[in-house]
Chains A and B, each alone.
Chain A
Amino acid sequence: MSSSLSEKIFRTILGAFGVFIVLLMFSVAIFLTVGAWPVIRHGLSDFVQTQTWNPVNGQFGALAVLFGTLVSSSIAIAIAAPLGVGAAIFLKELAPARVASVFSFLIEMLAAVPSVIFGLWGFFVLAPAIRDHVAPIFYPLGEYVPIFRGPSYGVGILTAGVVLALMILPTMAAIVREIFSAVPQHQREAALGLGSTRWEAVRVAVLAPSKPGILSAAVLATARALGETMAVTMVIGNRNAVSLSLFDPGQSMASLIANEYAEASDSRHIAALMAVGLLLLVISLVVNAVARIIAKRSAAKWK
């Protein structure tokens, strides 16, 4: 075989793998759209504004699950962002090398723990702890502040948010640490040289210029939280309703699909679940894209 022919064959085969990846991504989007078509062909606005989800009567509205997903993910990032940034500062800037490597290792391992394990732990350990020890603290407040209203069953939006926070924490910490690593050493030294304390140097020379990067890390971590399924399914309480109280059970888009798909038999129900999946896919991809745009804008500053 002549070398130019073999070269061509080689390139074609590699190119075919590339095409396969593109086709795979497109077919995910297309198949979901096709599956959801009976529900979304009348427009999405009704679908996302209706709260009722009643497969028996054939009523399908995604408002409650949209709400559950957004609230639980917001709680998650509200907890994971400060923890992740704080841990990253400590590991990258302050801790002795040996301590830092042990902590980084543990955080890396946390990232590898499967979702269902977080769910199991959340269901049997965290949920009872929130019901018995955390929620009672807020009961007096519940009379005035609707988000703390009512008794806690353990499982609920808040529990889901906390479990999600633990799951996205490694992502957050790892990306922020990378961002800090990109800050040139002389920036820190310049601040220290001016006579600043360690913390002042971190704040001025490391944190301030990393702000856009930290934002992009937070958005990326949120994207992970939005689509997380098993852990949320096990601890969110699985009730399709919009409720302001964080202690109330709720439902996320992913948990709704996980709960109902295997039992869904009539075609409209399946189509409605597909529509929820499509909505989730679109939201995840958009949030991921936003993170990438922020990251791209803030990158390559130090060159």
Chain B
Amino acid sequence: MEIATKKLLLEFMVTTQAKRKRKNIFANLVLSILAILAVSPLVAILGFLISKGIGALSWEFLTSLPAPYGESGGGMGHSIVGTFILVLFASLLGIPVGFGAGIFLAESSKESRFASIVRLCAEMLAGVPSIVVGLFAYFVAVLPFGGFSAFAGGFALSVIMIPVIARTSEEILRLVPVHVREAGLALGLPRWQVVMRIVLRGSRKGLFTAVLLAVARASGETAPLLFTALNSRLWSFSATQPISSLPVQIYTYATSPSEEWHQQAWGGALLLVLLVLGMSLFARFLFSGKKYGT
């Protein structure tokens, strides 16, 4: 800091006032251009999605199976249902485990060695590339059961969800003021009841946000599904069969040679973005203050 201050003073001495002002204006200009550049991709991407995707969206698109190659029409109904089923499976494992770990982390003291190992592992887990999660799920949930399945895809997505929920819910539970806990303990409630009845209940909005963010994240994931849930061109409601999902279907269509399918990919992408951004927006709207009890 001292050196920097000296530099500043030196600059005052050697440069003229006018020059410094010009420099200031120039810096402001460059920085605002950088900021505009930083937000323009979102605008560009959303713009293209809407302009190219809106034409593909129709009742048929939402409710029917893909048309055979070369034929027009058809839709992504099976992928929409598939994404819901996969996220449902992922939530069945991911939400309880994520919450459990989050509560564990929030309830253990900051000095606890074991808790800091768990926290480190949760952070590392969040840093595992999603394709590696896919490899892991292939080994654990595809190979032993002899084939690609919705169950394996759901498992892969749950591995993505767990660290997100664990870390977000720990953060949210730590916002609960100490005096609220103490009030519960003073009433003679055992600690587990304080946690279940007061801490969790008071934070339910925040915890719901954590779930929403994790679900949004999981619904957009493609890589972990490529060789776990695979894809399907049929309606599938079975846990043991391959199943389609919006992201994988978009990927498949986008990399196909068919112009018709490219159209479908844009439509699916628009739908996926509406779904994912909608959930993120809702989460933000629900829990913007980052305060307990809001």
- Chain A residues with CB under 8 Å of chain B are 3, 6-7, 9-11, 13-22, 24-28, 31-32, 34-35, 82-84, 86-87, 89-91, 94-95, 103, 106-110, 112-121, 123-125, 166, 169, 173, 191, 194-200, 202, 204-205, 208-209, 223, 226-230, 233-234, 254, 257-258, 261-262, 273-274, 277, 280-281, 284-285, 288, 292
Contacts of B250 in A (CB 8 A): 116-117, 120
Q: Are A112 and B130 in contact, CB atoms less than 8 angstroms apart?
A: no
Chain A contacts of B226 at CB under 8 A? Answer: 258, 261-262
Most buried by B among A123, A228, A258: A258
Q: Identify B121's interface contact among A6, A25, A103, A254, CB under 8 A.
A: A25
Is the Cβ of A194 less than 8 Å from the Cβ of B9? yes
B43 engages A106 (CB within 8 Å): yes
Considering only CB atoms, which chain B residue lies closest to A25 in the complex? B121
The digit string for B25-40, where 1 denotes a CB below 8 A from any CB of A, is: 0011011101101110
Residues of B within 8 A of A107 (CB): 38-39, 42
Q: Is the interface of B mostly helix, strand, loop or mixed?
A: helix
- A28-B136 CB under 8 A given contacts A18-B118, A21-B166: yes
Q: Are A17 and B273 in contact (CB under 8 A)?
A: no
Known A-B contacts A116-B250, A199-B28; the reply to A82 vs B8 at CB < 8 A is: no
Report the separation of the CA atoms of residues A230 and B133 in the bound assembly, to the nearest whole angstrom: 13
Q: Whole-angstrom distance between the alpha carbons of A291 and B23 in the complex?
A: 33
Is B114 located at the chain interface by the 8 A CB criterion?
Answer: yes
- Are B273 and A114 within 8 A (Cβ)? yes
Bound Cα distance A217, B66 (Å):
43
| CB contact under 8 A between A277 and B131, given known A113-B45, A114-B247 | yes
CA gap between A254 and B135 in the complex, in Å: 11
B277 in contact with A83 (CB, 8 Å): no
CA of A228 to CA of B121, assembled, Å: 20
B247 and A116 within 8 A (CB)? yes
Q: For residue A35, which residue of chain B has the nearest CB?
A: B139
Question: Which has the most chain B C-beta neighbours within 10 Å: A27, A169, A204, A226?
Answer: A204
- Complex contact A35–B39 (CB within 8 A): no
Decide: B8 and A120 in contact? CB cutoff 8 A. no
In this assembly, does B60 line the interface, its C-beta being within 8 Å of a C-beta of chain A? no
Give the residues in chain B near A202, CB-CB below 8 Å.
27
Contact status of A191 and B8, CB under 8 A, knowing A91-B35, A112-B277, A114-B276: yes
**Which of A14, A95, A117, A274 is within 8 Å of B273, CB to CB?**
A117
Q: Which 9 A-B pairs have the closest CB atoms?
A: A227-B129, A114-B220, A86-B34, A17-B100, A10-B192, A197-B24, A87-B38, A199-B27, A90-B35
List A contacts of B216 (CB < 8 A).
112
- Size bin of chain B's contact surface: 35 or more
> A22-B118, A86-B35, A91-B35 known; A261 and B138 CB under 8 Å?
yes
Q: Chain A residues near B192 (CB, 8 Å)?
A: 6-7, 9-11
Query: Once the chains bind, are B28 and A94 in contact (CB under 8 Å)?
Result: yes
Check if B88 is an interface residue, CB within 8 A of chain A. no
CA distance A208 to B4 in the complex (A): 7
Q: In the complex the two chains form, what is the Cα distance from A20 to B166 in whole Å?
A: 12
21 contacts between A and B (CB under 8 A): A7-B191, A10-B192, A18-B114, A21-B163, A25-B128, A28-B133, A31-B136, A86-B35, A89-B31, A90-B31, A106-B43, A109-B42, A114-B222, A118-B45, A196-B8, A204-B7, A205-B4, A229-B131, A277-B131, A281-B129, A284-B132
A18 touching B105 in the complex, CB below 8 Å, given contacts A94-B32, A113-B45: yes
Q: Smallest distance from the beta carbon of B216 to chain A beta carbons, Å?
A: 6
Interface check B124, CB cutoff 8 A: yes
A25 touches B125 (CB 8 A): yes
Minimum CB–CB distance for B48 against chain A, Å: 6
**CB 8 Å contact bits of B263-294 with A (1 = contact, 0 = none):** 00110010011001100110010000000000
* B4, B12, B34, B39: residue with the most chain A Cβ atoms closer than 10 Å: B39
Q: Does B197 contact A (CB under 8 A)?
A: no
> With A25-B121, A91-B35, A109-B280 given, is the CB distance from A18 to B115 under 8 Å?
yes
Give the residues in chain A near B135, CB-CB below 8 Å.
32, 35, 257, 261, 273-274, 277
Contact (Cβ within 8 A) B269 A116: yes
Query: Is the C-beta of B87 less than 8 angstroms from some C-beta in chain A?
Result: no
